[in-house]
Structure 1
Amino acid sequence: MTKFNELGLKQSLLDAVTDLGFETPSEVQEKAIPILLEGETDLVALAQTGTGKTAAFGFPLIQKIDSDSRTTQGLILSPTRELCLQITNELKLYSKYEKNINVVAIYGGASITDQARQIKRGAQIIVATPGRMKDMISRGLVNITKIDYCILDEADEMLNMGFFEDIKDILSNTPDEKSTWLFSATMPKEVSIIAKKFMHSPKEITVGAKNSGASTVQHEYYQVSGRDRYPALKRLADTNPGIFSVVFCRTKRDTQRVAEMLIEDGYNAGALHGDLSQNQRDLVMNSFRKKQIQMLVATDVAARGIDVDNITHVINYQLPDEIETYTHRSGRTGRAGKSGISIVLVTRSETRKIRAIENKINQKFILKTIPTGMEICEIQLYHLANKIKDAEINEEVENYLPAINDVFAGIEREDLIKKIISAEFTRFHDYYNKSKDLNSPDRGERDERRERGGEIPTSGSVRYFINVGEKDDYDWMSLKDFIRDTAQLGQEDVFKVDVKESFSFFNTDASVTQQVLSTFTEFKVDGRFVNVEVSKNPGGGRRNSGGSSGGGRRTGGGGGRDRGRDRDSSGGRDRSKRRDSGSSSSQGGGGTFSGKRRTKKRNTDFF
């Protein structure tokens, strides 16, 4: 396995690498750094966002810079202010043991005079957005006629945002003999034009297949009617209690509207679009980075350059027009080797677009079904039970225990547990008890939704519960591998893996059900039982009456078929019809962010 000290970096940079906790270079770093250090060359590097491109060009650039000269020697162009600042901060960390290297960020929304003053003091490296850089060139505030290195980071995003002419003008002010390094996730026509016009016989490296999606991202799609997009979005959020996501809409109006509806319904949501001031955008992004916002609703342009770790889901509320845009959207999750999920909500007429994306990114989408209300209740019940189990005891409660014990006197342990769970769970149950099935008609695998009265299915696919999850260091990829290897199943035998905090669900074909169940009978990992059971929908008929904590059996729930619209639990009103007309009131700070969930609508403490 390659180490950073094998790439040709000098010791001061290796010391910075150690301080940053880097151990093994990513694929793009391993391929790009030796090429860039070896000599003066142009380079085209195709790699997804989140693969470590900044270090791939940042370390070689710093090593090649002459720190004794105050002349600007390197220019890095990036699509957004957020990415510009991020690159600047990272380069400062990389160069912490270098003397006299100054990195200056140039972007709109800040004082151009202050930025010009910083450059005048001496900036060997400038990191800039195209619009502000062109402005400063036209005012004579910056001189890039003697630079040695020009880096275009996220080149396809800059061109998608309409910076084609700006980039051509900027590059026209640079010397012909410089080295140009172009980093991009995809290679659309505009990027090829820039490469041909301003680069000389560039070397090319590709991480993964050209224009392909990241292998760490699982792609899923849900087929719903147009009027059910928003109720479907809510159910997906409720199905994933620990969700930390970006929700993409096509227009600024839809972005604001969806964010406002989520805030009104008690979710930690925020809007990010071009109509917000820079100060508002900063507030939203700061809240998102601190995870005070769990669902950031954004337009593609506003989301350019978002680089936030640990995003669990990207949700395409509406598909973009360009496939390259979908690639960028999905690249917001599954970063730095971690896994992520990209979800698409489509109508039946839009499913053909899924096939086109599959062909482009060389990855298959999984068709999944919107969870029923009772399935959501099951997930929330498990989540609540584990939340209570893992809660840290506050010793201050000791003073109140005598009085509390008096209140609970005479109540049996099992009844007390039922009451505690029911006090919170009933709110979700009441909300979803008679909610309708949101899945479009004529979908396959309806047998997955039916209660089988405790019998092991013999055909179709089977849904299982397993009592391990994120707390046990599993994600959808590693859990899939664990189940497949343990039960000695084939490569594609385990699918639809949904990992929650303390438990998970997965599917197999019914033909291997007995094999799965027998494998996980009395099965232990590090002394702990790993329990797998067939998941039964409590809303479909008979229920398990045995219930046990941690054993995977369902408790609670309730009968009743899935029918009717999603309702407001406080009054049972039909909210989805009003919302889908496009009208909603603005709450929670104009839909930009909301620090607290509202509980008057329904309980949201579970997620």
Structure 2
Amino acid sequence: MTNFENLGLSQDLLKAIQQMGFESPSEVQQQAIPVLLQEETDLVALAQTGTGKTAAFGFPLIQQIDLGKKKTQGLILSPTRELCLQITNEIEKYSQFIGGMKTVAIYGGASISDQERQINRGAHIIVATPGRMKDMISRRMIDITEIDVCVLDEADEMLNMGFYEDIQDILKNTPKDRKTWLFSATMPKEVAQIAKDFMKTPQEITVGRKNVSTKNVSHEYFLVGGRDRYPALKRLVDVNPDIYAAVFCRTKRDTQKVAEKLIEDGYSAAALHGDLSQQQRDLVMKSFRNKQVQMLVATDVAARGIDVDDITHVINYQLPDEIETYTHRSGRTGRAGKTGKSLVIVTKGELRKIKQIEKIIGQKFVEDEIPTGDEICKKQLFYLAGKIATNEASKDIDTFLPQLEEQLAELSKEDLIKKFFSVEFDRFNSYYKKQNELRTPSASEKDFQGKGRADFGNENRFFINLGRKDGLDWMQLKDFLKEALDFGRDDVGKVDVMDTFSFFNVDKSKTDTVLEILNNLELNGRKVSVEITEKKSKGGGRGRGDRNRSRSGSGGGHRKGKPSGFKSGQKNNSKSKSFARRRAKNS
């Protein structure tokens, strides 16, 4: 078996490795470290998150630093502040027995002048996010003209986040003879392009197949109706009492909303997304690492800094827009040789994405049923029993033991067990007795997102006076409608966005709700106006008449800024008027 002593590492590094409890190198470390120590070469290393990539480039980089020179000799670029800080922390641990080694983190959201002072005091290695690094270079606060090595960590994610030009500008300020080490979980064409543009005949190391998920992670999906995502999430959490999870949402707004709902329902949860300040994000991550927070609800961008070995589950509350991102999500669990589960909550219209992901990760998903209330209550009950059986009793209770025995003397063993467990068990039991079981949609049911429901007989098509000039695309408008109406994601369909107005479909049973709520809203100081479109006697098919009207622009076919052929959904609507009066009274 290969060990760290066989890789050519210095005694100071081996001492740190022993101190940190590393036993044997991972596959990417076995392959990368000897190459980077022995050869003057560029390198492309492809390995999944959680396989030890930081040590794979960190150990060789540290060993090649000349402590006699104060200049910056190594630059590590990473996509996010969290990952930047994580790498810096790891590099400092690796070099703990190397006197005089200085590593500085450079990232946005912190004082740029403080970071400049740290650099001026000497920094052998700089770990930076591309945006802040480019900013400091342009202000002449930093000099990387003599670096020996540039590491591009999580290269695929940096490119997904739009940092290609920043990386290009940064590398222009580095020596042409520098070594470039690129580490990535996946190999999309953009990563191949950066290797072509900025590297000289790089060696390539691949751990497993490209873009393939680790075998330590199992993948399951749960099919639900559009409005059942959150109830499904609660059940998945409740049926796993010892869960320590990362929950992924697609947008910052959904991330915050799901976290708030979980907290309201008594769960230990926190949100991590780009709208939080750096201090807030640091506090959230600290709480999660210390297990004061059981569930971290995050966006994909914010989650790049999650490097925690003990995560038991990844829950995909929503699938990512970019299918390849799923690999990064699932890589948050099953780390350091441990097993983990990646669970996906999907609607019927998203099933095609499951098939696409299976091809990318090289593994099959297992379809599972959302647990019933009885299953959850049983799991919680026996989990509690197990905790009690294995818990070491506190000696502090001995003082009160005689009084407790006296107070409970009349209870039989059976009554005592019943009463004791009822204290904790009843809250689950009473809650799930009141809840309907979540039903898996049948094959005959069609999803708004899919090709089904070509017949809009059970839906109304609505006009709304918001469009591209309000800064909305179809996805943003759909999110706005979903949140305003408190609808599930699939309750709003067939969204078509024009310049100054848009169309969308909603089930007829929800018509009053749509008209009553939306016509009492404003967006950016502008009053929202919603009406039901008139049906065409001919032409049919997915709003063909709507598209014909939209081509006329703001000129022909419009009256007072609205397309012709519309009637107000508010006229003669007594329910709408009474709702408006109630709303005014309560506001």
TM-score, normalization by structure 1: 0.72
1:344 partnered with 2:336: no
Q: For each residue in 1:480-530, what CA deviation from the matched residue of structure 2 results, as whole angstroms up to 9, or x when unmatched?
A: xxxxxxxxxxxxxxxxxxxxxxxxxxxxxxxxxxxxxxxxxxxxxxxxxxx
Partner of 1:41: 41
1:239 partnered with 2:239: yes
**Per chain length, whose mean CA-contact separation is higher, i.e. which structure has more relative contact order (CA < 8 Å, sep 6+)?**
1
Alpha carbons 2:216, 2:340 under 8 Å: kept: yes
Partner of 2:81: 81
Residue 387 of structure 1 and its aligned partner are, at CA, apart by 2.1
Residue 271 of structure 1 aligns to a residue whose secondary structure is strand
Ranges of 4+ aligned residues in structure 1 off by more than 4 Å: 577-583
Partner of 1:102: 102
1:129 partnered with 2:134: no
Residue 340 of structure 1 and its aligned partner are, at CA, apart by 0.8
Residue 241 of structure 1 and its aligned partner are, at CA, apart by 0.5
Q: Name the stretch that deviates more: 7-16 or 47-56.
A: 7-16
Residue 32 of structure 1 aligns to a residue whose secondary structure is helix
- One-letter amino acid matched to 2:78: S
Alpha carbons 2:246, 2:297 under 8 Å: kept: yes
Larger-gyration structure (1/2): 2
Partner of 1:173: 173
Alpha carbons 1:155, 1:191 under 8 Å: kept: yes
- One-letter amino acid matched to 1:164: Y
Partner of 2:473: none
**Change beyond 3 A, Cα 1:411–1:339:** same
Output the CA distance in 2 between the equivalents of 1:85 and 1:398.
46
Residue 101 of structure 1 and its aligned partner are, at CA, apart by 2.3
Alpha carbons 1:372, 1:435 under 8 Å: kept: no
Partner of 2:226: 226
Partner of 2:71: 71
**Change beyond 3 A, Cα 1:399–1:3:** closer
Alpha carbons 1:348, 1:440 under 8 Å: kept: no
Alpha carbons 1:214, 1:331 under 8 Å: kept: yes
Residue 301 of structure 1 and its aligned partner are, at CA, apart by 1.2
Q: For each residue in 1:178-197, what CA deviation from the matched residue of structure 2 results, as whole angstroms up to 9, or x when unmatched?
A: 11000000011221111100
Partner of 1:372: 372
Residue 79 of structure 1 aligns to a residue whose secondary structure is coil
Partner of 1:210: 210
Alpha carbons 1:313, 1:342 under 8 Å: kept: yes
Residue 88 of structure 1 and its aligned partner are, at CA, apart by 1.4
Partner of 1:186: 186
Superposition pairs of residues 397-408 of structure 1, within 5 angstroms: 397-408=397-408
Partner of 1:295: 295
Q: Which runs of 5+ in 2 are unaligned?
A: 444-483, 490-512, 514-587
Residue 581 of structure 1 and its aligned partner are, at CA, apart by 6.3
Residue 55 of structure 1 and its aligned partner are, at CA, apart by 0.8
Q: For each residue in 1:440-475, what CA deviation from the matched residue of structure 2 results, as whole angstroms up to 9, or x when unmatched?
A: 1448xxxxxxxxxxxxxxxxxxxxxxxxxxxxxxxx
Partner of 1:164: 164
- One-letter amino acid matched to 1:179: K
Q: Name the stretch that deviates more: 182-191 or 84-93.
A: 84-93
Output the CA distance in 2 between the equivalents of 1:402 and 1:121.
65
Partner of 1:558: none
Alpha carbons 2:47, 2:186 under 8 Å: kept: yes
Q: For each residue in 1:532-555, what CA deviation from the matched residue of structure 2 results, as whole angstroms up to 9, or x when unmatched?
A: xxxxxxxxxxxxxxxxxxxxxxxx
**Change beyond 3 A, Cα 1:124–1:411:** closer
Output the CA distance in 1 between the equivalents of 2:327 and 2:46.
13
- One-letter amino acid matched to 1:363: Q
1:428 partnered with 2:442: no
Output the CA distance in 2 between the equivalents of 1:396 and 1:580.
51
Partner of 1:483: none
Residue 142 of structure 1 and its aligned partner are, at CA, apart by 0.9
Residue 301 of structure 2 aligns to a residue whose secondary structure is helix
Output the CA distance in 2 between the equivalents of 1:176 and 1:365.
46
Output the CA distance in 2 between the equivalents of 1:291 and 1:100.
34
Superposition pairs of residues 593-604 of structure 1, within 5 angstroms: none
Alpha carbons 2:225, 2:441 under 8 Å: kept: no
Q: For each residue in 1:130-155, what CA deviation from the matched residue of structure 2 results, as whole angstroms up to 9, or x when unmatched?
A: 11100010001111111111000111
Q: Which runs of 5+ in 1 are unaligned?
A: 444-576, 584-607
Output the CA distance in 1 between the equivalents of 2:430 and 2:101.
62
Partner of 1:139: 139
**Change beyond 3 A, Cα 1:392–1:11:** closer
Residue 423 of structure 1 and its aligned partner are, at CA, apart by 3.0
Alpha carbons 1:81, 1:107 under 8 Å: kept: yes
- One-letter amino acid matched to 1:290: N
**Change beyond 3 A, Cα 1:425–1:289:** same
Residue 345 of structure 2 aligns to a residue whose secondary structure is strand
- One-letter amino acid matched to 1:100: G
